[in-house]
């Protein structure tokens, strides 16, 4: 009896007929007699023209065996099938599937690889992760329970969590509002809390966004957040589930013809990378979101080639896009290489007229350096011209450490500095005096501000230092890296109605970030909060923020005097730069205002001595002081390459000595033994082999207790104040840092690098 078949072509057309000879997939073609072609007329079709071949018959009633896997398959023509795949039979152009639906008209279907839009193993992701040994069943169950909690979280719970409210207070407000009869019973929780003055409308919107995000969170995201699996492991499991190859882009060089198939706009919008054109003219494209069903359709729409998908990590794809699509002339290192260094040998020592700040290469180079630094998470850019014919160094400060990133021929140093001056609207003819300015750039829809300082240096040069001030949002206090003791102490002083709170430390230690987190903690609609800053780096709804302009005579002291006439409850002064500002701030804190400010001092006890030496009255300051927070930023160990190890006795003794033997045991730090483990960074791609990625805050919180206030009035020294404060519960900067060493956040070298 002849085998009836149905052919589905790549364009969606279908044809019915019978096999002219037995179908052998290895022959890469099929011979058929079509019903409409006339009896006895045979036709042959290459498998490249077909999406699938359906063999008419009754489906097998047998359950899938161990050699079979159930899958959901969707072809490029839009047909969907639930089939059992015969894994032991392998062909170069496709595979067989047995329909699982008993009502199917087909006993088997041959699918061509190029005719498949999507394959999905009929197994849960958790089962695949368990099978691969990445998670166990109890861990997966806990993650699923957390996912369920996120999807069922109520708005009130999120508001309580994000704003550190007391749950009973929120419930009481809601109950009172509904029982009063003034608010409809069907009123939304957010509206009630806003009407009660507990939260602002912006805080409600933030909570709603968090609620929606939690409902959409996938199990894979949760497992990564809990650090149970890595992104690579998740993508490997998803690739297995969706039957896509998982590749390492670092081992692959994309084909130039493939790169031409997709534009830069397409690859950046979809975050995909074309790799090669196969002999059958199929385009192989790497993606990082195998669960996103729209990517395949978008790719088919934007290119004339059939598409085959493979999976790679998002970071590898982003790096490859940067490497393959950004043209040579727009890359910093290659731009530097294109500058004609031969011209240097023909110029007089002080003659730089051949190169102008208006040259397109100079303009392009400066722009790319600024953007390159921003993309790399740099805090400061240092442009350091050498003396005479020495090269001009460009150094980036990353996580508090400077690294030489670029070396530029000496002939271009003056043109580069002049170009930066022009961007900041400074005087390019002035070379003898320091100048300060700002540069504003827009990149990918974001506003980036650079604070510029030009300083004359030896040899007739000028150094340029740019601090990158990217717009950011305040972090909640619990996410600021405080120890539990410091967090509790800081939250307690924030409850006070008036007084002064100082945050001290060197430039770049995160003082402004800490103060804005404190302001965010007390930012409610019943309080009027004024801030004076230079510049305004962090914005918050509900604050009235002022940018000072010292050049026009509007500095911090002028802003403070203005605030005191503007009915404030809380005042934040970006920096106490002179005695008058400090004195006015202390007086304001004694007359019913809560005042925040910063100061450049090394520790909390030293801050007291410094202010008194500036002429502050010790009695007034002691009465006003609520607390002084000193802080530093140490390099954080890279989360991706942490390696636990047992420290040597010598290393442990160094930690004890640095902490202080007297306090080490009193503060309950761990004893030395076989069970003691610390961690170190092994070095990986994420941290560029350094073992460090990001920074961790180290704090010293001195609270204005009666004992400390009395010592200030008596004129005690910084060392005496330090001893008293430790007795009162303060941990010094070094102590807090070493506690974080035992928590696995940093190491002793980094703590000692930022603490005395």
Phi and psi, residue 291, nearest 5°: -85, -10
CB atoms under 10 Å from CB of 356, counted, come to 13
Q: Who has greater pLDDT, 81 or 63?
A: 81
Mean pLDDT for the chain? Answer: 82
Domain boundary among 325, 352, 372: 325
Confidence of residue 633 (pLDDT cuts 50, 70, 90): very high
On whether residue 130 sits in a domain, the answer given is: no
Q: Which CATH number does the domain housing residue 456 bear?
A: 3.30.450.90
Instruction: Report phi then psi at 333, rounded to 5.
Output: -60, -40
CA 533 to chain CA centroid, Å, is: 26
pLDDT reported for residue 87: 67
- Considering the domain boundaries, does residue 129 fall inside one? no
pLDDT at position 185, please? 56
Mapped onto helix, strand or coil, the DSSP state of residue 97 is: strand
Question: Which tens digits make up the pLDDT trace of 108-126?
Answer: 999 988 888 888 876 776 7
Q: Find out whether 237 and 124 touch, Cβ atoms under 8 Å.
A: no
Is residue 127 one of the residues assigned to a domain? no
Kind and range of the H or E element at 706? helix 706-713
Q: What is the pLDDT of residue 344?
A: 36
Please, what sign has the CA dihedral across residues 617, 620, 623, 627? negative
Domain match, 441 and 492 both: no
Q: How many whole angstroms separate alpha carbon 290 and alpha carbon 271? A: 12
Give how far Cα 3 sits from Cα of 37, 50, 57, 720, Å: 17, 18, 9, 98
Same domain, yes or no: 413 and 539: no
Q: Classify residue 250 by its DSSP letter.
A: G
Do residue 461 and residue 416 come from a single domain?
yes
What is the arithmetic mean of pLDDT over 641-662?
89
Structure tokens at 177: 């509002």
Beta strand 499-504 with 625-637: parallel, antiparallel or unpaired? Answer: parallel
Q: Is the dihedral of CA 413, 417, 418, 420 positive or negative?
A: positive
pLDDT digits (tens, 9 = 90+) for 738-755: 999 998 899 999 999 888
* Tokens at 549, concatenated: 């302009």
Which residue among 183, 204, 225 closes a domain? 225
In a domain, 128, yes or no: no
Residue 387 Cα distances to 12, 181, 364, 460, angstroms: 71, 79, 24, 8
3-state SS string for 365-411? HHHHHHHHHHHCCCCEEEEECCCCCCCEEEEEEECCEEEEEEEECHH
CA dihedral 681, 507, 473, 569 (to 10 degrees): 140
CA distance 192 to 467: 43
User: Residues 292, 294, 297, CA angle at the centre, nearest 5°?
Assistant: 135
Q: Are residues 332 and 318 in the same domain?
A: no
The reply to whether 335 and 302 lie within a common domain is: no
- Is 609 a residue whose pLDDT tops 50? yes
- Tokens representing residue 585 in the block: 């701030």
Please give the pLDDT value at position 478.
86
Higher pLDDT, 400 or 359: 400
Q: What Cα–Cα distance (Å) separates residue 623 from each residue in 88, 501, 519?
A: 83, 12, 22
Residues 236, 220 within the same domain: no
CATH number for 691: 3.40.50.300
- How far does the chain reach from its first CA to its final CA, in angstroms? 92
Number of Cβ within 10 Å of residue 355's Cβ equals 22
Would residue 265 count as lying in a domain?
yes
Q: Return the number of other C-beta atoms located less than 10 Å from residue 119's C-beta.
A: 19
DSSP string for residues in 306-368: -EEEEE--HHHHHHHHHHHHS-GGGSHHHHHHHS-GGGGGGS-TT--TTS-TTSHHHHHHHHH
Q: How much is the pLDDT for 346? A: 31
**Spatial CA neighbour of 81 closest among 63, 99, 105, 59:** 99
CB-based contacts of 292, cutoff 8 Å, min separation 6: none
- How open is the CA angle 516-518-520, to the nearest 5 degrees? 70
Prior bond to 535 cis, omega within 30? yes
Residues 321 and 333 in one domain: no
Q: What is the pLDDT of residues 379-405, one digit of tens each?
A: 899 999 998 888 899 999 988 888 888
Phi, psi of 129 (to 5 degrees): -65, -40
How far is it, in rounded angstroms, from Cα 600 to Cα 512?
A: 12
Which of 353-362, 528-537, 587-596: highest mean pLDDT?
Answer: 587-596
The tens digit of pLDDT for each residue in 310-334 reads 889 888 888 888 778 754 334 566 6
464 shares a domain with 497: no
Contact (Cβ atoms closer than 8 angstroms) between residue 8 and residue 50: yes
Query: Same domain, yes or no, for 144 and 109?
Result: no
Is residue 251 located within the same domain as residue 198? no
The H or E element containing residue 693 is strand 692-703
pLDDT > 70? residue 62: no
**How many angstroms separate the CA atoms of 756 and 753, rounded?**
8
Q: Do 540 and 444 belong to one domain?
A: no
Lowest mean pLDDT among 356-360, 609-613, 707-711: 356-360
Distance, in Å, from the CA atom of 606 to the CA atom of 628, rounded to the nearest integer, reads: 10
Same domain flag for 632 and 558: yes
- Please count the structural domains in the chain: 5
The predicted pLDDT at position 606 comes to 93
User: CATH number, domain at 288?
Assistant: 3.30.300.160
Radius of gyration over alpha carbons of the chain, in Å? 33
Minimal CA–CA distance to 663: which of 750, 723, 740, 602? 723
Give me the percent of the chain exceeding a pLDDT of 90. Answer: 25
For the four alpha carbons of 566, 571, 576 and 577, in that order, the dihedral sign comes to: negative
Last residue of a domain, one of 191, 225, 259: 225
Q: Given a cut of 60, is residue 100 above it in pLDDT?
A: yes
Burial-class residue 552 by CB neighbours within 10 Å (0-12, 13-18, 19+): exposed
Distance (Å, whole) CA 546 – CA 534: 9
Q: 149-158, 226-235, 263-272, 681-690: which has the minimum mean pLDDT?
A: 149-158
Average pLDDT over residues 179-191: 62
Residue ranges making up the domain that contains 272: 231-325
Instruction: Give a yes or no: residue 42 inside a domain.
Output: yes
Predicted confidence band of residue 206 (pLDDT cuts 50, 70, 90): low
Element (H, E) at 71: strand 68-75
Please tell me the distance from the alpha carbon of residue 548 to that of residue 581, in angstroms, as a whole number. Answer: 13
Residue pLDDT, tens place only, 6-19: 999 988 889 888 99
CB atoms within 10 A of CB 99: 21
């Amino acid at each position: 009896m002849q085998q009836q078949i149905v052919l589905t072509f790549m364009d969606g057309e279908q044809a019915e007929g019978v096999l002219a000879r037995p179908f052998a997939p290895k022959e890469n073609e099929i011979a058929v007699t079509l019903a409409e072609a006339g009896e006895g007329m045979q036709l042959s079709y290459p498998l490249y023209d077909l999406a699938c071949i359906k063999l008419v018959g009754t489906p097998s009633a047998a359950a899938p065996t161990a050699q079979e896997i159930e899958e959901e398959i969707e072809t490029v023509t839009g047909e969907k099938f639930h089939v059992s795949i015969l894994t032991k039979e392998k062909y170069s152009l496709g595979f067989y599937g047995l329909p699982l639906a008993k009502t199917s008209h087909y006993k088997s279907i041959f699918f061509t690889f190029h005719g498949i839009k999507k394959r999905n193993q009929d197994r849960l992701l958790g089962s695949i992760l368990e099978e691969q040994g990445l998670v166990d069943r109890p861990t997966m169950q806990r993650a699923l329970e957390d996912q369920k909690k996120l999807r069922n979280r109520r708005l009130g719970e999120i508001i309580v969590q994000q704003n550190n409210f007391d749950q009973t207070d929120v419930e009481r407000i809601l109950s009172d509002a509904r029982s009063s009869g003034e608010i409809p019973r069907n009123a939304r929780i957010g509206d009630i809390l806003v009407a009660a003055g507990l939260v602002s409308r912006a805080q409600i919107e933030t909570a709603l966004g968090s609620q929606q995000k939690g409902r959409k969170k996938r199990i894979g995201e949760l497992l990564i957040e809990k650090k149970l699996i890595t992104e690579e492991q998740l993508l490997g499991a998803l690739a297995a589930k969706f039957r896509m190859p998982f590749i390492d882009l670092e081992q692959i060089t994309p084909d130039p013809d493939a790169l031409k198939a997709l534009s830069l706009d397409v690859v950046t919008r979809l975050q995909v990378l074309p790799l090669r054109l196969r002999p059958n003219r199929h385009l192989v494209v790497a993606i990082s979101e195998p669960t996103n069903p729209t990517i395949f359709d978008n790719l088919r729409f934007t290119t004339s080639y059939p598409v085959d998908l493979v999976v790679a990590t998002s970071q590898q794809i982003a790096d490859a896009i940067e490497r393959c699509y950004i043209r040579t002339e727009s890359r910093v290192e290659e731009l530097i290489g294109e500058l004609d260094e031969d011209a240097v040998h023909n110029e007089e020592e002080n003659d730089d007229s051949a190169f102008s700040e208006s040259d397109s290469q100079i303009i392009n180079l400066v722009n790319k350096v600024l953007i390159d630094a921003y993309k790399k998470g740099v805090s400061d850019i240092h442009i350091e011209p050498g003396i005479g014919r020495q090269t001009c160094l460009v150094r980036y400060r990353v996580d508090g450490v400077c690294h030489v990133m670029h070396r530029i021929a000496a002939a271009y140093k003056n043109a580069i500095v002049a170009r930066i001056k022009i961007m900041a609207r400074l005087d390019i003819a002035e070379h003898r005096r320091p100048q300060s300015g700002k540069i504003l750039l827009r990149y990918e829809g974001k506003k980036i501000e650079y604070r510029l300082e030009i300083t004359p240096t030896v040899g007739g040069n000028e150094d340029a230092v740019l601090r990158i001030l990217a717009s950011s949002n305040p972090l909640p206090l619990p996410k600021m890296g405080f120890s539990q003791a410091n967090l509790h102490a800081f939250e307690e002083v924030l409850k006070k109605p008036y007084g002064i709170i100082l945050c001290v430390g060197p430039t770049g230690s995160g003082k402004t970030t800490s103060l804005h987190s404190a302001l965010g903690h007390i930012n409610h609609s019943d309080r009027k909060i004024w801030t004076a800053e230079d510049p305004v780096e962090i914005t918050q709804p509900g604050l009235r923020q002022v940018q000072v302009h010292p050049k026009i005579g509007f500095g911090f002291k002028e802003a403070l005097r203005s605030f005191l006439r503007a009915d404030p409850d809380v005042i934040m002064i970006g920096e106490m730069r002179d005695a008058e500002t400090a004195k006015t701030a202390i007086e304001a804190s004694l007359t019913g205002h809560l005042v925040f400010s910063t100061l450049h001092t090394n520790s909390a006890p030293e801050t007291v001595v410094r202010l008194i030496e500036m002429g502050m009255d010790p009695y007034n300051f002691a009465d006003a002081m609520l607390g002084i927070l000193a802080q530093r930023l140490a390099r954080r160990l890279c989360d991706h390459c942490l390696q636990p190890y047992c420290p040597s006795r010598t290393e442990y003794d160094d930690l004890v000595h640095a902490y202080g033997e007297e306090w080490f045991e009193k503060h309950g730090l761990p004893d030395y033994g076989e069970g003691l483990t610390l961690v170190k960074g092994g070095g990986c791609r994420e941290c560029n082999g350094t073992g460090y990625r990001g920074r961790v805050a180290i704090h010293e919180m001195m609270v204005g207790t009666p004992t400390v206030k009395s010592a200030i009035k008596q004129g005690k020294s910084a060392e005496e104040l330090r001893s008293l404060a430790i007795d009162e519960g303060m941990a010094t900067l070094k102590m807090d840092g070493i506690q974080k060493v035992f928590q696995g956040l940093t190491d002793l070298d980094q703590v000692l690098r930022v603490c005395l």
